[in-house]
Structure formats: structure tokens, C-alpha cells
Structure 1
Amino acid sequence: MSPDLDRERSLALAQRSFELMRDYCTCATPRAYAVWYTYVAGSQPLMNDAIKRLTTQNGTLTSADIDQLHDTYIDGRRLALEMDRVNSTLIAEVEGIMEMIDVSVRSTAQYGESLQAFTHDIANAATSRTRLREVVSTIIANTRDVTANNRTLEARMRESRNEIETLRETLEATRLESLTDPLTGLGNRKSFEEGLRREIDAGASHRPSSLIVLDIDYFKRFNDLYGHLTGDQVLRLVAIVMREHIGQKGATLARFGGEEFGIVLPEVDLATAREIAERVRTSVTGRELVKRSTGESLGKVTVSLGVAQQRPDDNAVSLLERADACLFAAKRAGRNRTIDEIQAAALPNVA
């Protein structure tokens, strides 16, 4: 494609992106533009499907939707590229080490062959003193060369060890970033799904685990009334409360949707999980929200929670579906409450 045609196409994509951002987005930010440009370009089909689903359900994309889409489908590519870069560097570093080892091995082998030849000369009674001096001098010189090569290899190995440790730390930081929701600091959807699968896989070897799903009541209305910055403050508040009340080792705390949170509790039964969920709910409800810019009281935020315990035949999908059914039951029952699967089964018209 010629530069002029490429420019015209980019401008056309940009124009269409602005139109869609105007018609379907509650915010006009660089992230929103990046999401819509990627949508129009068609380079992320899975993101396009997610956008169509959200706009069909809600008629618009909120700031939280934009953040989730950007972090999942666009910023995630940056993390993947960073991991590829680190992996390539690591491979090159290992190849360099192997080359140095090959050089050292060849040098040592040659040194050994020389010693065998010199041993034969020394053992020969006919060898003159002059030849013996030459042999000894050569052995000394060869020994110095091998020693120097080994020192070079040792220094290179130390440098490589430091470089590999730095790369390992970079890989770990990138991995953690790829699993973290940037707004709340909790795990993201990927982290939640991994934690859930991990507990399902481990269920046969220990006591069943439990799952809590949490949704902020009337969050869209709150966002529309007070703005997305205040909405972000609410999301952070819920995350803080979750951290305060969940200290189980190995628990997974995640924000896996716009205002949806999940808590995977290893080896925690249903009754205990319900108690934990209630502590989270009452703590959130007990906090009065204040608008930072004005000091204005915005009242209280409430949350609804559903709780389910892992069954022997569960997979990640079935356990999440039961917890979601409990959450929906809590919503239908009036919100600001916790319902577990035993309570949900006793309610009318609840599967």
C-alpha cells in the first residue's frame, strides 16, 4: 500500500472511531480512542465481540468498560510483546554461555592432548635437557592460557547470572502486571479464572473450596449521577474492604468485570465463606463515601453477594454459574444482602 493510501485509510479509521466514541461512549479519553480505533481496524476480533455484547446490553460503554477492554485486549498485547522481548534476550544470553562453555571445553581438551604428548616426551630416556626445558615451558604457557580462559568463563558466567536474575525479575513483574487490575490493584479476570481453575483442580486432594461473587448495587446509576472518577473511588473502596477482611492464604481476590468482583477461598466451607461475605458487605455499607473534590457526602454504597461451595463434579464454569445464581437471587430479593446456594435453593423461582 502506498503512503498516501495508507494515510487516507488511517484518517478514515480515525474519523469512524470518533463517530463511534461520540455515539456509544460516555467518555472521550485516549484510552477510549485506542479502543474504538482498534475496533474499527478489526485487529482484535475478540474485543469487537465484547464491545458488541456490551453495547447491545447497555447501549453504551462506560469508563470502566473502556478500562477493562483496553487492559484486556490492547495493553495485554504490550505485556505479551515485553515477555517476548525478555524471552528472546534470555535465549540469547543462554546461547552466549553455551558458546563460552564450548570454547572452554575445546581448550581443555587440547590442553589434555598436549599433556599426553609431553608425558611421552618426558618418559623417553633419549629426550635431551633442552627438549625437557621446552616441554616444561610449553606446559607452563598452556596452563596459563587455560587458566585465563577459565577466568574469562567464570567472569562471563557471573555477568550472565546477574543478567538472568534481572530478566527473571522482569518476567515476574510482567507476569504480575498481566494478572493485575490497574484500577484496584486486585487480580483481573485472567487472575480470577486461573485461581478458580487451580482450586477446582486441587479439590480432589483437600477440603472443597468456596467462591464469593460480589456486585456493586446500582453502580451505573451512581456513575451517571456523580461521574466516573467517583465511580472509580467506589471500586477502590470495595477492593480495600476485600483486602481488609480476607486473610486466607492462597485466596484469589479479583475484579473480573466492570463492577463485579470474585473471591476464591481455598479449603473454606460454605458457612465460613458466607460469614466472610457478610463481613465484607457490612463493612462496605458502613463506609460513608465522600467526594474528594468537594467534601460532599455521597451517602453509602451497598453490595450484593452470592456464595457457592465446590462440589466433587464441579468445573470452573459450573461453580461460577451457581455463585452467579446466588448473586442474582440477592439482587431480586432487594439487594444489599448475601445469599448462599442453600438459601437460594429455598427461594421461589430461583434455580
Structure 2
Amino acid sequence: MRQGPDLDRERSLVLAQRSFELMRDYCTCANPRAYAVWYLYVAGTQPLMNDAIKRLTTQNGVLTSADIDQLHDAYIDGRRIAAEVDRMNSSLIAEVEGIMEIIEVSIRSTAQYGESLQAFSHDIANTATSRTRLREIVTTIIANTRDVTANNRTLEARMRESRSEIEQLRETLEAARLESLTDALTGLGNRKSFEEALHRTVNVPPAPGGTGKPTSLIVLDIDYFKRFNDLYGHLTGDQVLRLVAIVMREHVVQAGATLARFGGEEFGIVLPETDLEEARAVAERVRTSVTSRELVKRSTGESLGKVTVSLGIATQHGDDNAVSLLERADACLFAAKRAGRDRTLDETEVMAMRDVA
């Protein structure tokens, strides 16, 4: 009966074979990310991811490249980052415990030194104390003082070392935190970053001395992206996503703005203290700049024409929360799509269109 490494190898090969079959039947792409997602699906180690895959395949029949990216980011990369953060936290706790132990030793040493000095003071106060005894007391005090000084130097050196260690751990934790909020493909914020920024900006009262302007939200979607992906391949599709991210960085200069890719080809821009007119100007700069760029396939130099985007804009009202603001911006985006794409529509324009209809 086989067991140990041979059995593990056989099981892994069975899982791999089943993963390839599912990837072939239910996936529009075949890349390492897709394999990792399907392998974990077959292994059954990520039940929440399995539920998400079942829901997506039931709705759409297949997993798109965008679906794979989102699943990988949420359930595989996210798990790795969480493990790294846990490891750093454990190291930080161990470092602090070490410092506390050293401090306790130092406190005990200092207390003992104080008790010795007190006892010696009683001996010195005794007029009957001999010169020989005084010499012994002074010698002992000098020796004890040297011991305490040495302990303090050791403590100081250890504290400096620990300070350096803790600073490195802090930097590592901050890097892990930023990575958990970053979309790996575009370098923009991911969905988690977008949602946190939106909630934070909408729910926090305006700062004293601010402009008093509301928060505005721009949502952006690449027109006909799936068709473009299917025609030219996912690598070229990734190039388009990066292009849009570059343009957003170039034209969004407001302090405190959050730029994010929160879906496959969906992007968001959170603009604190920005009214509707200013937000519309930003959106139009992004749209016209994307449209003015000619896309070239890197591998062949072939011109792929132009890419267009549709944008929707909503501005915070007094009773808004993050969900209601996003819903209105999404409604404007869908209206822009229905109106012919490659355009920006804000909520006042959409309302006027409804009134006319």
C-alpha cells in the first residue's frame, strides 16, 4: 500500500488533471492564475472561493479573465498577505516581550542596589563602625555600582537593537498593508482600498477650515472591453487597463483623491471637497486623454486603434452614505453606456434626460 510522498504526489496529479479539465470547460483563459484558482477549487481548501466560483459559473457559464483576477486577488494573494501580516505581528509581540523581560531584570537590579545602599547607610550612621568596615562598605558600593552600570549599558544596547528591529517590522507591516490595498496589474488601489476610501470620505464630517465642498465620485468603465479582450488576447487587455490607470494618474491631481480599479474593467475616483462641476472637468480630461491615445500591440507593433471609456459622476448629498453615492454614480455610468458610450454623464444630466423622457 502506497503512502507518504508517493500518495501525496498521486493526489496532486489527480487534482492537477481535474483543474485542467475545469479550466478548459469553464474558463476563457488558461494562465497560472487560472490554474491556481481551479486547483484550490478542486482541493476544497477555500470554501468561500468555491461558493463565489459556483455563483459566477451559474450566472455566466464561464469565468472570464477579470473573474479569475478578482478571485485570485481576494482569496489567494489576500491569504498570503494576511499570513505575512500575522508573521510580522508575532515577531513584533516577541520583540516587545523580550524588552519587557529586560526591563524587569533592570528594575529588580536597581531595587536590590537601592536596598544595599540603604543597609550601608545604616552601617555608616553607626558611630561604632570601624575604619575597616567602612572600607568594606565603600568597596562593595563601588562593585555594586559597576554591576548596575553594566546592566544599564546592556539594557541600553538591547533597547537600541530592539528599536531598530521594531522599526523594520513596522516598515514591513506598512508595506504589507499597502500591498493588500493595491491592484497588482495597474498599481492603483484595489476594491478594498476603494471601498475604504469611499466610506472614510463620505462618513467623516468636513474638517474645520476646509472648503465645505462635498465629495464627488467618478466611476469609469472601458467600452467593449470583453470584445477587445477576446479579439486581441488578455495580455493586450492588460495593456489597456494599464493605459487607463496611467491616464488617471496624469489627470487626477486633487489632494486626497483615491484612484482605484475595483472590478475587471471598472475604475473609481473618489474626490474629497470637489463639487460636481470640478469632478466633471476631471472626468472629461481623463476621457479625452484615453481616447487620444492610439494603442499599439507590443509584440508586433500593430495598431489596435483607439480605446474609449464611459464615465458617471455623482456628488454627495446631505443624507448620502457610501452605498447610495456609488449607486447614483453607477446609474450615471449605465446611462452613458446606453447613450452611445465614449461620454461622461453626471447625475443632473441623467435626471434631465429622465424628465424629457
TM-score interval for Structure 1 and Structure 2 normalised by the shorter chain: over 0.9
Distance of 1:199 and 1:278 partners within structure 2: 23
2:244 maps to a residue whose letter is V
The answer to whether the 8 Å contact 1:344/1:350 transfers is no
> In the alignment, does 2:227 pair up with 1:221?
yes
The correspondence of residues 1-351 of structure 1 with structure 2, limited to 5 A, is 9-203=11-205, 206-348=212-354
State the shift of 1:99 in Å. 0.3
1:211 maps to a residue whose letter is L
State the shift of 1:350 in Å. 11
2:155 maps to a residue whose letter is L
State the shift of 1:191 in Å. 0.3
1:318–1:44 distance in 2 versus 1, CA, 3 Å: farther
1:338–1:49 distance in 2 versus 1, CA, 3 Å: farther
Which one is further off, 140-149 or 3-12? 3-12
Listed one character per residue, the Cα deviations across residues 194-222 of structure 1 (whole Å, up to 9, x for unaligned) are 00010111245553201000000000100
Q: Secondary structure at the match of 2:226?
A: helix
Listed one character per residue, the Cα deviations across residues 35-78 of structure 1 (whole Å, up to 9, x for unaligned) are 01222233323323332343344432233332221111101101
1:197–1:38 distance in 2 versus 1, CA, 3 Å: same
The answer to whether the 8 Å contact 1:253/1:262 transfers is yes
Q: Secondary structure at the match of 2:62?
A: coil
The answer to whether the 8 Å contact 1:204/1:312 transfers is no
Unaligned stretches of 5+ residues in structure 2: none
Which one is further off, 69-78 or 341-350? 341-350
Which one is further off, 305-314 or 238-247? 305-314
2:121 maps to a residue whose letter is T
State the shift of 1:178 in Å. 0.5
Unaligned stretches of 5+ residues in structure 1: none
State the shift of 1:2 in Å. 7.6
The answer to whether the 8 Å contact 1:329/1:350 transfers is no
Q: How many residues align?
A: 351
TM value normalised by structure 2: 0.94
2:144 maps to a residue whose letter is N
Distance of 2:61 and 2:348 partners within structure 1: 35
The answer to whether the 8 Å contact 2:335/2:350 transfers is yes
Distance of 2:346 and 2:295 partners within structure 1: 28
Q: Secondary structure at the match of 1:158?
A: helix
Distance of 1:227 and 1:164 partners within structure 2: 46
Distance of 1:32 and 1:220 partners within structure 2: 17
TM value normalised by structure 1: 0.95
Distance of 2:323 and 2:4 partners within structure 1: 48
Which one is further off, 315-324 or 200-209? 200-209
Distance of 2:106 and 2:43 partners within structure 1: 53
1:311–1:42 distance in 2 versus 1, CA, 3 Å: farther
State the shift of 1:331 in Å. 0.4
Distance of 1:203 and 1:3 partners within structure 2: 59
Q: Secondary structure at the match of 1:254?
A: strand
Between the two proteins, what is the percent identity of the paired residues?
83
Listed one character per residue, the Cα deviations across residues 123-157 of structure 1 (whole Å, up to 9, x for unaligned) are 11101111000000000000000000000000000
Distance of 1:218 and 1:58 partners within structure 2: 17
1:84 maps to a residue whose letter is D
Listed one character per residue, the Cα deviations across residues 99-143 of structure 1 (whole Å, up to 9, x for unaligned) are 000000000000000000001111111011110000000000000
